[in-house]
Amino acid sequence: MSDTKPLPPRATPLQPRRRAIIVGASIGIGAAMARRLALEGYTLALLARQEEMLRGLCAEINTQFNETRAIAYAHDVTDYDSVPALLQRILSDLGGLDLFIYNAGISLPVGLKKFDFEKDHRTIETNLLGALAWLNPVAAMFQSLRSGQIVGLSSVAGERGRVGNPAYNASKAALSCYLEALRNRLSRYGVNVLTVKPGFVDTAMIKDTKGTFWVIPADQAAKDICRAIRKRRQELYTPARWRWVMFIVRNIPSVIFRRLIF
């Protein structure tokens, strides 16, 4: 749980401080976003299972700024029942919330001729149900505050069902759709919802993936995401060329698409 004392300095009218939660912040894109948001002055609650990684990241950020800007919370997103109490605890530690990022995700490919419910179950639990467990109370809070920003890490992989990793495709398609629905509900309350669709990003997630291309560093993805947050954008492809590639991919007729092995 919360391991860094003292708590961050409170926002005051003369010194406003934005506060963010990143779920899935121990490594990869989440850790890169934490470093960038700390540079932008955010106070951060960083959540993931790998507590030592989180502690190291918080120590790095807090040493860099010589004050508490990041607090670690060990959390498994599949422990849905713990979310409401943990959210309340973080709100009390940070003194409020301006930005919520759901970044946690796993990819468990199955062989082209294999079917594996256990892997599919874990994928949906982490990538989709964990997101819903957090997004519901956060959306309710931002709606009543009439302010706030929500960011969800989806993927270009959510735009078509492909042969290599059906449950990952399905989890990201459902997450993108859910985020769009949240945007449509919350925009009238002044709450922005950003859906992020990265291509290949150089993290542990793709280290064993064959046939990757246009791979970008995690920090480049984080830079694009932070810019999109500042501009209150609704959808981001990173790198940007994926928007046009996916426009074409979405329109490939099924009779052709089903013959492609990727």
Ligand X SMILES: NC(=O)c1ccc[n+]([C@@H]2O[C@H](COP(=O)([O-])OP(=O)(O)OC[C@H]3O[C@@H](n4cnc5c(N)ncnc54)[C@H](OP(=O)(O)O)[C@@H]3O)[C@@H](O)[C@H]2O)c1
Please give the C-alpha separations between residue 149 and each of 26, 98, 126, in angstroms, as whole numbers.
21, 6, 21
What angle, 0 to 180 degrees and rounded to 10, lies between the N-to-C axes of helices 166-186 and 130-145? 10
Instruction: Report whether 63 contacts 76 (CB < 8 A).
Output: no
Look up 80 and say whether it is catalytic.
no
Alpha-carbon 245 to chain mean position: 22
Which of positions 188-217 make contact with ligand X (CB under 6 A)? 198, 200-201, 203-206
Q: Which of 20, 21, 25, 38 binds ligand X (CB under 6 A)?
A: 25
Please give the C-alpha separations between residue 110 and each of 25, 106, 113, 164, 242, in angstroms, as whole numbers.
26, 13, 8, 7, 25
Quick note: the x/- pattern for ligand X over 118-157, rule CB under 6 A, is --------x--------------------------x-x--
Note whether 29 binds ligand X by CB under 6 A: yes
| CA gap 170, 37 in Å, rounded | 30
- State the nearest-atom distance from the C-beta of 10 to ligand X, in Å: 28
- State the nearest-atom distance from the C-beta of 113 to ligand X, in Å: 24
Q: Which of 21, 70, 90, 104 binds ligand X (CB under 6 A)?
A: 104
- State the nearest-atom distance from the C-beta of 217 to ligand X, in Å: 11
- State the nearest-atom distance from the C-beta of 51 to ligand X, in Å: 8
| Element holding 84 (H helix, E strand) | helix 83-94
Note whether 99 binds ligand X by CB under 6 A: no
| CA gap 176, 185 in Å, rounded | 14
Q: Name the residue nearer to ligand X (CB basis): 191 or 222.
A: 222
Active-site annotation, residues: 168
User: Rule CB under 6 A: which residues touch ligand X?
Assistant: 24-30, 48-50, 53, 75-78, 103-106, 126, 153, 155, 198, 200-201, 203-206
